[in-house]
Each structure stands twice: as structure tokens, then as C-alpha cells.
Amino acid sequence: MKNELITYEKLEKIINTYIKDKDSLNLIRKSYDLANRLHDGQKRRTGEDYITHPLSVAEILTTIKADKETLCAAILHDVLEDCDITKEELEKEFGHTIASLVDGVTKINNINVSTENDYLTNYYKKIIVGISEDVRVIIIKLADRLHNMRTLYAIPIERQKLKAKETLEILAPIAHRLGMHKIKSELEDLSLRYLKPEVYYDIVEKLNNKKVEREEYVSKMMEEVSKLLKANNIKHEIKGRAKSIYSIYKKLDKGKQFSNIYDLLAIRILVNKEQECYLALGLIHSKYKPMAKRFKDYIAMPKTNLYQSLHTTVFGLDGHLFEIQIRTFDMDEYAENGVASHWAYKEGKDGAIAMQNITEKKLQFYKSIIELNEDKMSAKEFVASVKDEVLNNNIYVYTPKGDVIELAKGATPIDFAYKVHSKVGDTTTGAIVNDLIVPLSYELKNGDIVKIITNKSSQGPSREWLNIAKTTQAKNKIKNFFNKTSKEEYITLGKEELEKELRRNKISITEFTKQKNINEILKTNKLESLDDLYFNIGNNKISAKALIKQEQPKEEQPKKVEHIISTENDILVGNIPSIQTHIANCCLPVPGDNIVGYITRGNGVSIHKMSCQNINHEDDRIISAKWNNKTKNKYESDLVIYTNTKDNILFDIVQTASNLAIQVENISTLGKETGTIYSVTALVNNLDELNKLILSYEHLTKIIRVERINK
């Protein structure tokens, strides 16, 4: 489609695959009629009619199932700038939302300043205003830039480089923060093509050289993995996956050799449920040796743009390294389209609201930018901070609970503390990084686990910290501490505290602070105003936790998959040379357990543990049984694992088993007391192996106790 000239008829056909109602389709057609009339006679630099540009932008947006308002605004996005029409007239024809979206996109485009610095400052500011007013403005802008990048060949080389640089520094990082991987990736590849054509084409050529060979490996590996999953009843889809040229460039740039970039051979597995991700991982690690330190659990610990997936690299077919991603279909939709994935789930207004909510409440970059924007600093400082500390040059460190915190390169524990919460920052007395006490000036590195030691009666930050902190955000908060009157400070603290608690409970801030709800809260707590409420939370008179009723949704219990194990030749019963046996479901003996047989009516002999409660040893039908010296099959064993954490430790459970080459066949959550309790079914060769597994589990600090179940 990319090279074929777009027409409205073609576009409408695509739109019609997911927007069905007549009114919406009529409105979109109306926006086309107007745009077509207004752009009549205008040409693009490529020589095509101008209208092909807005139509192409709309077409890009259909790939992420954009709603009707976004499509209308995309088709109209250049009319305010290039044609003779006002925002008021647009509003009369198309309503407030569409007119505002068009106006928002126009404002970003329309920057008339002389110096590059002024230009950038305004550009950033407008993008930020755009995101906070309606994130759809930025999504249209990203699609607009994508189409312009696709047709960049038509402009002079100097301008090509400028646009490509700007795309790489601002728009691609924003797409990345919004989780819009597909668009981000194409923007990056196109930018590289114009910024460093020699490098770009060199990578393309190298990729093409071995393409056939690579694809063959990938498809064979996919077949093998698919068989493995099928044999274990895990419904899935599996795809080969091409690395983006830009990501290869980044690795080469870091000094890697082309031949050493393992993720050139890459597959992706999609399953229905989160637990199946871990099961699939366990199966794969049992069959293919994983490469040390290459697996990452972004499901339990999502990236800061909310990306979720399991990543691992294994020695696959013929010893070739394969990078494997495992995630659910929902996670995949988010991984490709980020916040825009909400269009695919919810129609119309709800999708737009969900997108805005996620952006404002869950994306760390949004909060950072808004905070910077609120601080009084020069425009130049603002741009430098957003560009260098928020959108680029980041490191990712963890809280002791495993939450990821995004910081600027060079950040110290002070920056970390203030990023978590101003209150934490203000009461910091020390820091522990990866279990070692470090000075507050310690430079944090990717992957560090940071624990801040606080003291509630602390007098507040020291002025010296202004020299230690790296980020503008932390510095501003330290300055604020010294500047603010205490009342104001408590209000801000309280607001932050409440918002954090709401986020933690996945409650929309807008919903919670609706006048009706707030009035009730004020009444019950005998308060005058919202600021009053914040003030009381800020100085700890009211607990934000208590304000929010916790309603945890119940987890769905997965059905246990019936697994029939062949015991052929593994068990000797009495003196009978060959008799049909099966493992009793009540006690699940494994080789090494003392066993006994029970002659059933018409179903051969069932094999129980000698200690099984269901066995009456006086019974006539009891018959002696023992394991063969060398058993061949693997046997199920059910374990109950008691943990001291509510964090998801599915990964540790599967990985610990994988390290012993033991396959975990099923995991489910039994309940939550002080910590989550898991039920795990492992397939083991014998009792020794099972005991080793139990021991390894008990060595994990998060696991308190492991029980083998006798039903």
C-alpha cells in the first residue's frame, strides 16, 4: 500500500473494516470533502496532489484503529495552516473535539522563530501541551511525521538531515514513551537512512546476504517450539520476527560485531494467559539451554512505558542463538501500539479517555515533563532537561519491590529518592545499592536495586545536595523545600500521596476527584476544601490508604490440565510380568517413594505411596509394587509454595526448576495471605530430583515453605 497512491475510496474501505456506523462514516467523508476542496490545486514536493498527504496520515492511523475524531482531524490536519479557514468555522462544522485536535496539531507545526534553540523550545512546549490536553494530538503528529519521513526524498538534503535529526531526538522517543513501538521503529529506521545512509545501506546489505539461511533456521525453530507447546496443550501463535535496522545500528555502535548480534534470529510466542507465558518459558528452558543473564521478566516488572513480555536467549537449532519473546495477545497489542492499543479494545470516547488516563497516570515521562513544565526555569533549561534527562540518556533502576524507576544517566540516590516521592527525598539519610551502603553521591547504574534509608524526624535536605543531585527535577524539589511555606508544601505532598495511592489501586484520578465524590469525602472528614484534604494527607492526619477502599478483583483459577503418564516398564507389581498400572491421583508417587499397588475393578493396578491415607493395608486387593531400577518416565508432583511477598514470582519458580532441568507443567495462585501461595505441578524423574527442587525453592528468600501435597 505504501507505494500505491492513496484515494479516499481506498481509505474508506479500510476504515469500514472497523468503523461500521453510518453517522461516523458520513462525518469522515465530510471531512474529506472539505479537505479536498480546500487543498484543491496544492501540490506536494513529490509532485502528487496535496490531499494524498492527509489521506496517507489517516491511513497510517487506521493501522492502530484510530477513532473517528482522530481520523477526521488527521484528514483536516493541514487546513488551518495552509488554507483559508478558521478554527471557529471548523468547530461549527465538526464540533469542539475535532476542531481542537486539528488546532493542536497545527500549533505544533506552526512555529515561527528564528534561532534553532527558540524553535526547539517552542516545539517541546507545544508537544507537551498537546500531550496534556489530548494525547491524540501527538498520535496524529507522529503519523504526520511518519508519512513525511516516508516521502523525505523529495526535499533538499540539508532539510532531510534536519528533519531526521529532530525525528530521532524528539518524536521517536515520544513514540517510545507512549509504547508505540511500531511507529517508533519505522521513524528510527527512516531517520537513520537519511542521517547515515552508508551505515543504513551497509546493514541492509548484510541482512540480505544471509536472509534465506536465517529465515530457514527461524522457520524450523518455530516448528520445533510449536510442537513442544502443542504437546503440552498450550494454545499459541508463533511468529518469526525481524530486528529493526536502527536497533542493529545501536548495537554495532556500542562495539558489537555484526556476527555476534544474537537476536538476529528471533521468534515471538503469543499465548492467552499470563501463566502460560511462564509455562512456555519453562518448557523452552527445559529443552534448550538458556544463555546466562539473558532472560528478563518484563511481565512481573514492566518497562516504564508499560511494555510487558518475557525475553530469553537460548541455544536453539544447531546451537544457534535464538532470542525468544513470550507474551499474551493483549500484551502484544500493547507492545506494538502502546497507549493507542486502547482503540482496539474500546470504541469511541472510552478509548480516548483510557488513553489519556494511562498517559497521565502510568507513564513516568509524563509526570516528569509536567513537573519540569511547572517549575520556574528558563525555556532553555527546560528544553535541555526534557531532551537530556527525560527523553534520552536514561538508566533504569529498581526499587526493592521490583518497580522500575527511569532516571537520567549520572543520577544519584538523591535523584532516585526524589523521583519516588518528594517526602522520601526530603527525609533521606542514606542509601543501599545492591545490598551495599553507598555514599549519596554514588552514580547509579542500569539494573541497580536501590533502597533509600529515611528518617521521618529528619530536618530535610541539605543544601549540599544541590551539588550532588544530577536531575533538574530533584534539584527543583530540593530548592522547593527551602522556598515553600509549610502549608503549601503539605498540600503538594498530600496531593502526590493521594494520587500515588489512587494509581496503586488503579483508580482514575479524574473519577475520584469528581465534585460529587469529593463533597462526600469532605463531609465525612469535616473538611472545607480539596486543598484542606490534601493538607491533612500531607501532614499525615488523614491516611490516603484509608480514604480509598480496596477492592481487589478475584483471580481466575485456571483449570488443571489432565496429564496421563505412561508408567510402562517403570513399575514391577508382585510377580506379574506385565500388568497395566497407573499413578494414583491422590498421592502422586514418584520413583524413589515407597509404593504399593491396589487392584482396581477393570482399570489395572493403581500405584499409591505406601503412606497414602486412602490405602487400607489390610485390604485383599493390595499388592506389592516397586520401582524398576531405572525408570524412564517423568512423574507429576504437586507442590504448594508459601511465599512472603505479593509480588509475582512466577518467573523465579519456573526458572529455579529450569536450572535443574525440571519442567513446570502448571502453576496457579491458590490465595494470598501475607504472601501469595502457589500451586505448582512439576514433572520429575525421581524423588532425589524432587527433593533437590524443594530445597532450591526453600533457598529463595521470597519462599517460606514448600509442601508436597497428599490429597
What does residue 161 show for φ and ψ, rounded to 5 degrees? -65, -40
Q: Which residues pair with 454 in a beta bridge?
A: 428
Catalytic entry in 48, 49, 82, 91: 82
Write the DSSP symbol of residue 244.
P
The string of DSSP codes covering 447-497 is: T-BEEEEE-TT-----TTHHHH--SHHHHHHHHHHHHS-HHHHHHHHHHHH
Q: Pick between residue 58 and residue 317 the one whose CB is nearest to Mn ion.
A: 58
Stretch binding Mn ion (CB under 5 A), from 144-152, 316-324, 500-508, 512-520: 144-152
| Burial grade of 114 (CB within 10 A; 0-12, 13-18, 19 or more) | exposed
Q: Are 143 and 131 in contact (CB under 8 A)?
A: no
Question: All 3 cell numbers of residue 204?
Answer: 541492509
**What is the nearest approach in angstroms of Mn ion to the Cβ of residue 145?**
8
Taken in order 469, 470, 475, 476, the sign of the CA dihedral is negative
Stretch binding Mn ion (CB under 5 A), from 132-140, 143-151, 443-451, 533-541: 143-151
**What is the nearest approach in angstroms of Mn ion to the Cβ of residue 67?**
19
Stretch binding Mn ion (CB under 5 A), from 124-132, 137-145, 248-256, 682-690: 137-145
**What is the nearest approach in angstroms of Mn ion to the Cβ of residue 505?**
41
Does the annotation count 82 as an active-site position? yes
Strands (E), 648-708: 663-672, 676-684, 703-708
What mask, x for binding Mn ion by CB under 5 A, covers residues 230 to 269?
A: ----------------------------------------
**What is the nearest approach in angstroms of Mn ion to the Cβ of residue 437?**
54
Taken in order 451, 453, 459, 462, the sign of the CA dihedral is negative
Angstrom distance (rounded) from CA 676 to CA 644: 7
The reply to whether 144 sits near Mn ion by the rule CB under 5 A is yes
Q: Pick between residue 78 and residue 489 the one whose CB is nearest to Mn ion.
A: 78
Q: Pick between residue 52 and residue 581 the one whose CB is nearest to Mn ion.
A: 52
Q: Pick between residue 78 and residue 188 the one whose CB is nearest to Mn ion.
A: 78
Total residues binding Mn ion (CB under 5 A): 2
Find the residue with minimal CB distance to Mn ion: 144
The reply to whether 103 sits near Mn ion by the rule CB under 5 A is no
What mask, x for binding Mn ion by CB under 5 A, covers residues 71 to 90?
A: -------x------------
What mask, x for binding Mn ion by CB under 5 A, covers residues 586 to 625?
A: ----------------------------------------
**What is the nearest approach in angstroms of Mn ion to the Cβ of residue 106?**
9
Residue given cell 497414602 in the structure block: 612
Q: Are 231 and 287 in contact (CB under 8 A)?
A: no
Helix axis angle, 157-166 relative to 181-195, nearest 10°? Answer: 140
The reply to whether 59 sits near Mn ion by the rule CB under 5 A is no
Stretch binding Mn ion (CB under 5 A), from 141-149, 287-295, 461-469, 488-496: 141-149
CB atoms within 10 A of CB 335: 23
Q: Pick between residue 20 and residue 45 the one whose CB is nearest to Mn ion.
A: 45
Torsion of CA 172, 176, 180, 183, to 10 degrees: 20
Residue given cell 496539531 in the structure block: 105
Stretch binding Mn ion (CB under 5 A), from 84-92, 136-144, 159-167, 513-521: 136-144
Scanning residues 493 to 532, which ones bind Mn ion (CB under 5 A)?
none
Q: Pick between residue 109 and residue 508 the one whose CB is nearest to Mn ion.
A: 109
Stretch binding Mn ion (CB under 5 A), from 140-148, 196-204, 458-466, 642-650: 140-148
**What is the nearest approach in angstroms of Mn ion to the Cβ of residue 181?**
23
**What is the nearest approach in angstroms of Mn ion to the Cβ of residue 500?**
39
Q: Pick between residue 62 and residue 328 the one whose CB is nearest to Mn ion.
A: 62
Q: Pick between residue 78 and residue 448 the one whose CB is nearest to Mn ion.
A: 78
**What is the nearest approach in angstroms of Mn ion to the Cβ of residue 77?**
6
Catalytic entry in 21, 33, 40, 81: 81
Residue 244 makes CB contacts below 8 A (sequence gap 6+) with 185, 188, 189
Q: How far apart are the first and last CA of the chain?
A: 60
Residue 581 identity (one-letter amino acid): T
Q: Pick between residue 66 and residue 693 the one whose CB is nearest to Mn ion.
A: 66
Distances (CA, A) of 288 to 271, 322, 406, 644, 685: 19, 10, 33, 31, 18
Q: Pick between residue 58 and residue 335 the one whose CB is nearest to Mn ion.
A: 58
| Burial grade of 306 (CB within 10 A; 0-12, 13-18, 19 or more) | buried
Instruction: Work out whether strand 321-328 and strand 310-315 pair parallel, antiparallel, or are unpaired.
Output: antiparallel
**What is the nearest approach in angstroms of Mn ion to the Cβ of residue 129?**
19
Instruction: Compute CA 638 distance to the chain's CA centroid, rounded to the nearest angstrom.
Output: 32
**What is the nearest approach in angstroms of Mn ion to the Cβ of residue 345?**
28
Stretch binding Mn ion (CB under 5 A), from 142-150, 249-257, 336-344, 632-640: 142-150
Interface residue list for Mn ion (CB under 5 A): 78, 144
Catalytic residues: 81-82
